[in-house]
Structures are given as C-alpha cells and as structure tokens.
Structure 1
Amino acid sequence: MASFADFSSADSSAIPPAADSADAQHLLAQRQALYRFYDDTPAAVCVLRGPAHHYEYLNAAYQRLLPSRPLLGLPVAEALPELVATGILALLDGVYQTGTTYHGTEQSVPLAATADQPAEERFFTFTYQATREQGAVVGISTFATDVTEQVRARRQQEAQRRQLAELFEQAPVGIATFRGPRYVIEMANPAVCALWGRTPAQAVGMPLFELLPEAAGQGFEELLDGVLATGEPYVAHELPSFIDRDGHRDTVYWNFVYHPLRETDGRITGITVVATEVSESVQTRRQVEQLNHELEARVTERTRELGEQQTLLGEILGQTPAYIATLSGPELRFSFLNNNYQRLLGGQPALGRPLAEVQPDAVAQGFGEMLGRIGAGGPPVVSPTTPLWRTQSVGQQQLGYYDLTYAPLRDAQGEPRGVLAFGVEVTEQVLARQEREAQRQLLHTVFEQSPTALYVVRGANHVLEVVNPLMARILGHSAEELLGQPFMEAMPELEGQGIAELLDQVWHTGQPYYQQERPAHLTYHQPGQPGYYTFVHQPLLDEQGVVAAIACVAVDVTEQVSARQQVQALNEELTSTNQALLQTNQQLRRTNADLDTFVYTASHDLKSPITNLEGLLAVLRDTLPVEVQQQSLVAPLLDLLDGTVARFRLTIEQLTELIRLQQSPAGPAQQVPLGPLVAAVLADLATEVTAAQAQVEVAIADGLGLYFAPANLRSIVYNLVSNALKYRDPARPAQVTVRAERQPTAVVLTVQDNGLGMSASQQERLFQAFQRLHTHVEGTGVGLYMIKRLIENVGARIEVASQPGQGSTFTVTFPI
C-alpha cells in the first residue's frame, strides 16, 4: 500500500501552488488525517486528482482488489485500460465536471488482477464524490464495496429457483400446496392434476374439497386437520379411496406425505402434499399374492400324489382359453391336446394319430415341414394372425385367425422329443380390425361425397393429405395431382394471394381462421373475374396439443357474390341516371328493400340445407362405431363439420335478426325531451347498473329535446348506455356519464365511460355489421351498426374517441 505521504513526496505537483503558506500546510495536514482514517475503512477507497483522474491515494482495501498492478500517480485510463469501454470514465468525467455525486449499485465492472491477465466481471456498489478546494472541484473520492459474491450468489439462487419451478412442473410425482383451514389449492403441478382428473386452471385457487367433493367424508379432512394442528407430517402407504375421473368413479390407492408449511415465525399456515398413485402396483401385488396363494395350494395338492397333479394339470390345460397340443416323434403324433384344441378339430379323435391324418390341410399349408424342423431341435416359430380352417362339424369348416407359437419339447437330457403348439384365437380382433377398415372406407366415402369442399394439409410445409372431389374441382386440379404435394407447390397460381401466409398463421398460432367471400384467382378464372369462397381453416392438434395438420372446409359463393355485385352495379347505374335527389332516395330505398328481401329469403331458404346437413352428421355419428369416431383423424374432422354447420346456422340467424331490425317501423318524428327519455332508459337498465356497481351521472338541461322518431332515439341511447355497462373494466368501478347540450347548429349527445376502451384497429371495425370486439360479452354484433344507420339516415353523425384501458366516449351530433 502507498500512503498519501509516499505519493506527495514523489510528486509535489499534487500540493497547491500556495503550499508554503500556513493554509496550504493546514490543508495538507487535514488531507493526511483523512487518508489515515481511510486506511482503517473496510470499503475500498481511492482519491483521484485532476481532470485526467490520476490516482492520488488508495487504501489497503482498494489495493487488495488489484494487488499486482501499479496505480498511484497514473491516470485511470492508463492504470486500468479495461475500464475505457465500460462507461466508467464517462461517469468520472461527469462527476468532475458537474460536482454531482454519483451512486452505483451492483454495477458490472471488468477488472484484471494483473495487466497480463484477462479481465474478470465483478460487481461493485460505489459512490463517486467530488472533492473541492476553495469551492472548485479538484478531484474525486471513490468509496466502493465489492458485492461480486452477493450478486453471483443471488443469481445462483434465482437459477436454483427456476430449476425448482421446472422440477415442480416436470416432477413425475404429484405435488401441491394447500393454504388455510379450507385448504385452498395454492400450487398444483400437472402430475397431481392428472391424479385428480382436473386441469391446473380448475384446481388453483379452489378449496380442495370443493374441487374434489367426492373426497369429503373419506377421512382426508381429519388427516389434514391433524397436520395443521400438530405440525407433525403424515405419511400414508397404499391408502385406498375413490375419486371421480373421466366421468366415472375409480377406487384408487395412494402413497402420499402431508407436510406442514411454516411461516418464518413458526406458524403453520398450510400443507404440502407429495403423492403418487399406486393402484396398479397394489392391484398387481394382490393379484400376485392371490396367484401365489393359489399356486401354493396347488403345489401342496400336487405333492400328495403325482397322479392327482397330472390330472389337475390336464384339467388346467384343458380349460385354458388357449389352444394347446404336443406332438411327438418324426410323424408328429398328438401326445396331448386340451379341450379347446379338441374343439378346433371338430371333436374328431386325435390322440396318438399323426398330424397328417388329423389336419391334412395344415400339412398342405407347410406346417408339417415346419413342425418337423422344430421337433428336430430347430428354433421356435411365432406366427401371428395365421388363417386356419377349423372343423365345425362333419363336412363343415370355418375360417379363423390365430396367434401361433411352436417350440421344441426336450427331455431331461435336453434332447428334442417333440413340439409344443400354443395358439390363441384372434378372430374377433381381426374381424374388428377389418370392420374398422371398412368404417374408415365408409368415412372416406362420406368425405368423397360430402356436399362441402374439404382438404387437410399436414406439417409446416402444408402437404396435402386429404382432398375430396368437390375441393379438387374448386382448386382446378385432380386429387392425384394434389395429394402428397406441398400446397403452394401444387397451387402456384395462388402465389401472392395471401393463402400461404394464412396457412402459416394458423400453423404457428393454433387459432382457426374464418373468412367470408374471399376472392381468389385460379387457373380456370378469366382475368379480372376471380372466384369467391367462404371457408374456415381449423388446426388439428396431436396428443401433446401441438398443431399437426390443418383442415379447410370451403363453400364456393361466387354466384352469390356475382349476383350481389350485379345488384350493386345496377344501383350505381340508377344513381348516375337519376338527377332528382328525391327520386334517387326513393329508388335507393326500393333497392335496399329488395336487397333485404333477398338476404332474408336467402337466409330463410338456407335453413333447410343446414338442417339436412345436421341430420346427415347425426346419422353419420350414429352409424360410425365409437372407436372409429375417436380416431385421431376422424374425431377432429367430425367436430370440424359440426362447428362449420353451427357457424353457418349462426350466420343465417344473425342475417335474419339484422333484417328484422331494419324492417321494424320506427314511427313518425316528433319533439322528444332528452332528460325523461334518458331516465326511462336508465330505469330499464337498473338491473345492469346494479350488477355492474356503476356510478351513472346525467347532465342534461331541463327542456332540452330533439325532433326525432322516439323509438329510434331510445334505441340509440339504450345501445350506448348498455354497451358502457357491458364493456366495463373489471379492475375498477364503472363510471358512466350521459351529457347533452345545445350548440348553435346542433344538439350534441355524449356517453362517456371508463371501461375497457378500444385500439385504433378495433375502432375501424366498430360500426361494421357482425363485429364483436369483446367475445366475453353476449351479442350479435349489429347494435352499433344499426344505430349508426339510424343516425346517418337523418343527417346526423356518430363519432368515438377511445384508448385501451382508459375508456370510450361516443358523441352523436344532431343537426337542428
């Protein structure tokens, strides 16, 4: 360590010009006394001098940080060049230039113990404080504490906490924590939720016996209460209970530990449970114990007399559900066959007869040669799902399927002496598999003949896996040209039309995509004449919940769109040829009425086909076996068809509702007082106001009114106020303000709330038909569209100002 005295004798320039004066000597003495104080300070202290920050003093603690590096008399940038790129010099310059103290907390600083060693990242909490002489900044005092170990320890603790959290989630045993006397579930990992038959979303935050009501009364309450009261853990081994999972009640066995959770003051506030289900092992052990017991009884019985043992063995083999026979000698004569094998032969005598006489058809199929090789000591042969003709009665045979195993029989010296034939009939399984294949073919036929266009793409490259004929006709290619090809390679004409981006969006987000009347140019379309299609892209998830494929259900609506476009073109032509405003408005009303009638008729006429589709789907579900419906490909497609038909029906119902609202008579216009009308609306919404705990303020001058159709004006106010209540922010009390004021040229009505608010993109779609920006609230999405039409039909206008999380203000301006 170098003291201040050492440095001052080596460099007298550090003493102010007035060093010969008594004041300078006094200042030097004070500084030396201060540095002696710093020598005993555990913090690392150094004093820098001048704008280049020359080391003037450093205490022992500071020197220990850099024991082999010369510092005194050198500027910081030269003494510690590794600090140049860190911003430390800029901090020192700032303190020197401004005189403002700088505090750094756990700041990363690269330091090398020696100049030829690489820098090591260290962490310091420090203070840079300007030192002044005669009011001017002449240097900087630094006070630093090395907190590297604390920072590294904290980071290690954080990593350990993350590892513990991952271990909690991935642990193969069930782990959960309960809090309070109601045992509210605070944490529950996936393994324990699987044991309970519930999801984590259902479990966390619920009292245990509300989540698992069937567990009440089985003694678990007393066990938990005991742990909570005594603080003594409870260990259970193979504790039986019953639990409701997957729609039925199971009897299960548990190994678990209840362990008390203590606060820092020793209070017990909860319980941790670590549990595994051992039902299978318990049942297996009991079965083994039962089998062992039976085996011991049989062994005891057999030891009494060898003859009885052989008889018992014969009875066991005779009654086993398998087909068992032994064949001996080069002629493969039957030396034993159980009852099932005897029935397989149709009851004909076989004992002592050669295989060629008893089963000549088996010899013809090559079994005689194979069994001869095995009987001579060859390796065993396993033949699964082997077709064999079995004799039902004299002259009658039936084809069956068997899993066959043939193994050599050896004597006590290990020499081959025959063949053991063991078979299990699998005819029912084979026939069931054939039936499933037939059902799959039936489902394929249903897809092929479906009145809806379907395709399925699989993988990130969207390889076409299923394309029914109607979809092939829409795409303009045969199914053979499409199947097995990536979608965009098979359909290059769709490049640049957004289809590839749409498929990627569904693949990456896992969210279905629905669009009505989307234009698309295919190879058979004339230039400038695209087709129009309404479709849904539905992601299909695998067992892990990951998107594995995408199913598309589409309807060609080109004719409907063309018809509507023709009507629109006719409207434009009529508008351009009619000069009189009154005649133009009348013509537009008639055209709109025709359009409403067309939409209403179309929606009404579509109900019957939709009903037929629902009936066909119901018949299909009744026809398909349950196991076929649950297959990984079939189940999602059936659900997709159900969802598509349901959405079509909902669209038709919304169209009908829109036409009904448009055709409802509003009545003649008259002077309507605004104050009483708003009061009546709030009275009708009293239940909603109370449920929302809303504070409603009305600021309308007495006598202020409008010349308007009363029913229409009430619909406008009702929609705006009810929306303010429905779309409130659950994080704060709802506040709704209704104001109206007369201006020189208009009456302005405003409805302001502090609800959820809307983004700019949401506001652009706000007044469109069937637009629902918040799906957690019921509705058809036509309310704001309808009141906008009511407002604009009389020359008024409606505007909205909104910010997400702050609320919305709707302003309606009625000209006067």
Structure 2
Amino acid sequence: DMKIEVANQMMLDVWGKTDAIIGKPFYEALPELRGQPFLEILQNVMVTGETYHARNTPAIIEKNGALNTYYFDFTYKPLFDDEGNVYGVMDMAIDVTEARFVQKAIEESQKELLSYFEQSPVGIAIITEQDLTFTMANPFYGDLVGRRPEAIIGKPLLEALPELRGQGFDDLLRTVIGTGIAYVAKEVGVDVLRDNTLQRIYVDLAYQPRREKNGTVSGVLVVATDVTASVLSRKELEESETKLRGILESAPAGIGLFVGRDLVIENPNQTFIDIVGKGPGVVGKPLREAMPELITEGQPFLKILDDVFTTGKMFQSYGSQVRIVQNGVMTYNYYNITYSPVYDSNGKVYAILDIAIDVTEHMLGQKRLEEAESALRSAIELAELGTWTYDIESGLAKYSSRLADWYGVNENANYPGLAPSLEVEDEARLKKAINSAIQNGAAGSIDIEYTVINNVTGQQRIIHLQGQTICNDEGLPLALRGTTQDITIQRKHQFALEQEVKLRTEQLAAAVEELQVTNEELEESNSQLLHSNDELAQYAYV
C-alpha cells in the first residue's frame, strides 16, 4: 500500500502536508501525484531493489490549497530486511525550485546580452593573455577581418589572421596586458585578407585590459569601429586638393549522519566518503578528527552544526565553497548543503543528517556566465550603444537608459514602436523593416538608419538600428531585440566631405575651362600676328 511510516518536518514541508498523513497510503496522502510517475518509480525500486536518483525533477504538489509545479533533487533508496528482501523505500528530497528559477533568470539574461553582442554594429572580440587567443568575436568583427567568427575563436591572433604579422598589433596587445593600460587610437590602418584580397581598412581601435579579481590582466577586450568610408572620403578630398594644387601650379549528494555533540560520522554513503576524501576509515570518527581542515582553514561548518544541534533548526545553503583535503590535495569545491536535526523518542536532537550536493561545475559555469555577462555589458558601454526590445504581440518597445535619453523618454516605460518621434517617411520605412523582420521568423533581421527627434529638447539624431527576431521553441516570432548607435557626427562629417569633394571638383573644372579659353585667345592672337606679317611683307615689296 506504500504507507508513509516516517516523515521528518523537512519532508512534510516539501509535500506541503502535516504529520496527519503518517500511516496513510502514499496516494491517499498526496492524491495530486496521481498521473505523475512517482508511484511507478517507487514500485520499481521495491521490485528491483535498486536505488533511484533524479535531479531537477518537476512535481505538481498542492500546498496551502494551491497546485503548483516544484522542482526536486530526490533519491528513492530501498530498505532491506535480514533476509535481503525489500520491505520499504527511504525517500530523500531537496526542493531546488528557487535555484532552478535563479539559474533560468541568469541564462535568460545571458541570452539577452549575447543577442546584443551578436547584433552590435561595432566589431567586438576578447583575446586572452595566453598566446593572444580569441575567445569571443561578434559577427561584425568577423566582417571586419573577412572571416566567420567561429573560424577564429580558439585560435591565436597570428594563426587566425596571419596577415597581421609585422603590423605591430600583437606587440600592442602584449603591452596592454603587461602594463594594464588601455590603448585607444583613431583611424588605424590595418591590412586584412578579405575576399582573398589583401585590403586596407581603417578602424577606431580600443584595447581595454580585462582584469581578474586579484587585479591581474587576463586578456584584452577589443572594440573596433569601421571608419574606412570616412577615411577614404577624406583621403579622396586630400587627393583632390593635391591634384587641384598641382594644376594651379602647372605641374593627390553526499549523505551522512553526525551523531552526538561530537558529531561522530555514521552511515555515510560512498558519495559522502568521496567528498570527505579520506576513505571509509572516517566512519566512527568525530567530524573534527576526520576533517581537521574545517578548523585549520577557519571554516564555519562546525559552529553551524553545533547551532543546529542546540536550536533544532535546519540549516541550508546553496553554492557554499568548502575547502576539503581529498586524497591529500586541498580542493575548493562548491556544495548545496542541508543540515537536518534528527530527534530521538523524547523529542531531543541526537544527530544531524548531512546532505551535500557537489555543484562545483554549476557554480563555475555560473561564474563564467557572470563574467561573460560583465564582459558583454562592458563591450556595450565601451561601444556607446543603446539597446532595445520590441514585443511583437503588444507592439511595445523597451529602451535602455542611453537610448531613452536619445529619444527624450522615460526608460522605465514601454512605448509603441521602435522610435517615438520620426518624420513620416522614416516612420513608414521603419514599420516596413519591422514587418519584414517578423515575417522572416528566426532568420529575420532589421538594419536601418533614421532621424529621430528628441521629445524633450527637439534635438535631431541620426540613428543606426540593428536587431534580430527572437522566436519561441515552436519557431513563432515573439520579439525583436538589438542595438542602436548614434551616427549623427559620422554622417555629418561624411556629408561635409562629399560637399568639399564636389566643390573642389567644380573648382578644378573651372580652372581647366579657364585654361582652355586662354589657349583659344592665344591662338587667335597668333593668327592675327601672322596676318599682320603678311601685310607688312606685301607693303615692303611694293
């Protein structure tokens, strides 16, 4: 009948029940579990005698009159009688719902920042100190150097881009790493291999040192803005001026029991023994003798266990680092820890149940996610980009602080469309681009320039907006997300250069025309002189 014989307060809390369920069949005590797989798993453990472990498993449980989905790490362990027959199952479960939601939020945040990074209209890459190896590169950086990002990530600089050898960029990177001082330069000429041709491009370049928590420089954040068109326009102007000048001058989970105040280790499982790292000989020893590093390393766990023994209150922690000497080597792993008081028949605490789950890989992954998130935020800030998210169903957009400032709106509100104040022509083009990106689904993207008018100051800015369609698991478009860049100064400079080129060209044409007129006048004068000579010759003859 799967009757519940014993359940501690922690398990009752997990189920959302009181001790009134003790003695009841499992499905009578928890009827909401019907249709879920747990009874079948329990029956299988009873039949096979094999322990069952599961992690992050969803279960729909009624707590306080409401059905909700919770997530658990749990173990079903068979209990054997003297003849080796299974007579019951021990259920050990930990509620990991909150940790799962936190991890999901971190992953969503990372996904959003990666989306911004991928869609950035500025070349961004991260190069590590060891062999100057690429660890990240966005698509725009790939376009700049004529390679797909995946073709250079994981490779040293001069292996990924051999044409840079001798151009000095590897020396600059080592200097930034060695000194910790950022390098910033405008209109740097770079010879790169694009479309199988060595081409000269120009970039505004920033090398920002990336520091570890101890202050050491572990790599460099590279931000490169393509200014080739602007530089070439200026060079064309300079060449035009040189040419004009030349013409004018006639001549350019472990599990164990700590018994008593001395916390004597009893009934540890193999995982517990592996975590302690000193072999099965720890059984029967006080915890402080089995793990002296808890004292020598100044760790708080013996004090926490003593408090649990005194107060009878359970202790839980997530992602706690524990320094343990395992097989003679100090380790620095992370664990989810639960210390649960165990009571005797008189209601007094006589032992503490320790459940420890090694979450080192998860914590290190989370730290890497946080570091990557920090790097991406730094890249977005360094590139002076605005970010936005457009909800397709509502038609409302959320702007970052910088973009809201450009538009003259409140960053904490949502607004219809991707830009609040546009000229009629720009508004129509932007709507068309949004619809096109949505219709193309996961392959949809948007890339457009428009002029926006600040709602507060009336200032006009030329904005370059790029983004990508975000779809759900069924491929249905949910949102557009991307970045914006204020290119007002670049476009004004470009327009000024084009006007200057036009003026110099007109001046050159006028000078050529004037020279042609002068030449015609000289030819006319020469003709008249010849005629006069003929008349003088006739006169002399007469």
TM-score bracket, shorter-length normalisation: 0.3 to 0.5
Greater RCO structure (CA 8 Å; 6+ sep): 2
Larger radius of gyration: 1
The structure where strand makes up a greater share of residues is 2
TM-score (norm 2): 0.39
